[in-house]
Amino acid sequence: MDIHEYQAKERFRAAGIPVPPGEIATTPEQAESIAAQYGGMVVVKAQVHSGGRGKAGGVKLAKDASEAKEHATAILGMDIKGLTVEKVLVTPAEDIDTEAYVGVLVDRKKQAATFMVSAEGGVDIEAVATETPELIRKLTVDPRYGILPHQAFWLANFLYEDPALIKQASKIIGQLYTSFIESGSSMAEINPLITTPAGEVKAIDAKMSIDEPELFRRPEVEAMRDTSSEPASETKAREAGLSYVKLDGDVGCCVNGAGLAMATMDLVKYYGGEPANFLDIGGSSNPDKVVAALEIITSDPNVKSILFNIFGGITRCDDVANGIVEATRRIDIKPPIVIRLTGTNEEKALEILHEAGFSAYTSMDEVVEKAVQLAKGN
């Protein structure tokens, strides 16, 4: 789960990280009022779950409250990568001397948190990693001990030469790790971490992604979820208890079990197609889940065919079949549907499908190849 910049700053501030003040506005008038309270120059920043806000015109510097209102008027309602801006963060502008990057994320290969720091802040860190990897220093944290003081110092020393700045940055790195762990994060970053002419080190931008399985024991973080800033399909999938990830292909996939879903997607690519999604209906024998899955898949205009690949164990094939039939009654499904059902109550499922005018495959290769052909118009 992604959270907004202002929410990430709240988490950082709670851990002691020096973060400039800021308030949320949902109208231009609110933005003007907040800017007037701060006085002087402010920054008006779009709050959406997307990168590239600055390039899209979603981050503007305002010299006074009146200009803040103008910028908020332009930014609110703006579309940034398919997401509508419904709120802006108004925060005092800072005098910036240098910009650095500090981030920590879960390294799945090492199965531990890994820090990355660079003196090249305020830019796309992925580009720095690709083009000039020598400008990045990494450290894997032993989860038994957390980040130790000498490790934080080693990272901070890569960013600055001034002992006073190194001391401040070392403390912030430790605080960032604390926030990362306490929030159940998969990623937390400060970009940029600035120094000011007065010799202060501050986090003026914040980004944090929360590991979904951690949310059940962190209701205060779950409460930060903003469904208006995530695709409607993902919201619907979560509410229906489905595991769903939208992709860029045209073969809609509905499968039970994550392993089988991954194998199905691999096979789609093997036969020359591109999966439109990862969708795991899980082990529940609930026809309503199948209906919800089809509603989600058909909401994607890129889908040209729909592939069901069900291996019935806990999931009963007849329940899936009933769900498919019920969905076709409720929804106007235009893409052709190809089905493979095998396992628990397979014969009953085939009977249900045949009565509704559907046929089903037993071979995984055959059903996937057919779905790819249909997506290509063959």
- Side chain identity at residue 210, one-letter code: I
Asked whether residue 48 carries a pLDDT value surpassing 60, the answer given is yes
Are 75 and 164 within one domain? no
Q: Percentage of residues in the chain with pLDDT exceeding 90? A: 69
**Mind listing the pLDDT tens digit for each residue in 27-43?**
999 999 999 999 999 99
Residue 176 sits in a domain of what CATH number?
Answer: 3.30.470.20
Q: Is the pLDDT of residue 15 over 60?
A: yes
Round to the nearest angstrom and report the end-to-end CA distance of the chain. 39
Distance set, CA 119 to CA 128, 170, 191, 372 (Å): 10, 14, 10, 47
Q: Do 126 and 164 lie in a common domain?
A: yes
Say how many C-beta atoms besides its own lie within 10 A of residue 119's C-beta. Answer: 16
Alpha carbon 316 to its chain centroid, in Å, reads 32
Q: What is the CATH number of the domain that holds 65?
A: 3.30.1490.20
For residue 254, being part of any structural domain is answered with: yes
Degrees, nearest 5: CA angle 100-102-105:
155
Average pLDDT over residues 54-68: 93
**Residue in 32, 120, 189, 369 annotated catalytic:** 189
The per-residue pLDDT for 284 is 60
Tell me what percent of the chain is helix, strand and coil, each rounded to the nearest 5.
Answer: 40, 25, 35
- Kindly report the number of other CB atoms within 10 A of residue 122's CB atom: 17
Lowest-confidence region among 47-51, 146-150, 245-249 = 47-51
Last residue of a domain, one of 170, 187, 222: 222
Note whether 107 and 207 are same-domain residues.
Answer: yes
Q: Is residue 11 predicted with pLDDT exceeding 70?
A: yes
CB 238 within 8 A of CB 255: no
CA-CA distances (angstroms) from residue 266 to 150, 259, 319, 333, 351?
A: 45, 11, 26, 25, 30
Active site residue 5: no
Lowest mean pLDDT among 94-98, 148-152, 240-244: 240-244
Residue 46 lies in a domain: yes
Range of weakest confidence among 64-73, 147-156, 307-316: 307-316
Residues 273 and 325 grouped into a single domain: yes
Considering the domain architecture, whether residues 47 and 111 belong to the same structural domain is answered as no
Whether 363 is covered by a domain: the verdict is yes
The whole-number pLDDT of residue 223 equals 92
Provide the 10 A C-beta neighbour count for residue 194: 21
133 domain-assigned: yes
Beta strands in 232-363 (DSSP E): 243-246, 251-255, 277-280, 305-312, 337-343
Among the three residues 92, 108, 126, which one is the final residue of a domain in this structure?
92
In a domain, 162, yes or no: yes
What tokens does 103 get? 């981030």
- Same domain, yes or no, for 242 and 371? yes
Answer yes or no: 222 catalytic: no
Sorting pLDDT into bands at 50, 70 and 90, what band is 285? Answer: low
Evaluate if pTM is beyond 0.85.
no
- Quickly count: other Cβ atoms within 10 Å of residue 310's Cβ: 28
Are residue 182 and residue 83 in the same domain, yes or no? Answer: no
Residue type, 141: V
In a domain, 4, yes or no: no
Identify whether residues 363 and 240 lie together within a single domain: yes
CATH no. for residue 259?
Answer: 3.40.50.261
Question: Are residues 69 and 36 both part of a single domain?
Answer: yes
Instruction: Provide the pLDDT for residue 42.
Output: 97
Contact by Cβ (8 Å): 287, 324: no
Residue pair 242/134 in contact (Cβ under 8 Å)? The answer is no
Residue 2 counted as domain residue? no
Which has more confidence, 198 or 123?
198
Query: What whole-number distance in Å separates Cα of residue 219 and Cα of residue 216?
Result: 6
Q: Among 204, 222, 240, give the residue marking a domain's end.
A: 222
Catalytic residue, chosen from 101, 177, 244, 361, is 101
Q: What does residue 44 show for φ and ψ, rounded to 5 degrees?
A: -105, 120
**87, 103: one domain:** no
Q: How many domains does the chain have?
A: 3
Give the domain extent around 322. 231-375
Q: How far is CA 299 from CA 12, 206, 294, 332, in A?
A: 37, 33, 8, 11
Q: What is the pLDDT of residues 162-193, one digit of tens each?
A: 999 999 999 999 999 999 999 999 999 999 99
Residues 58 and 142 in one domain: no
Tell me the per-residue pLDDT of 82-119, one tens digit each, with 9 for 90 and over: 788 999 999 999 999 999 999 999 999 999 999 999 99
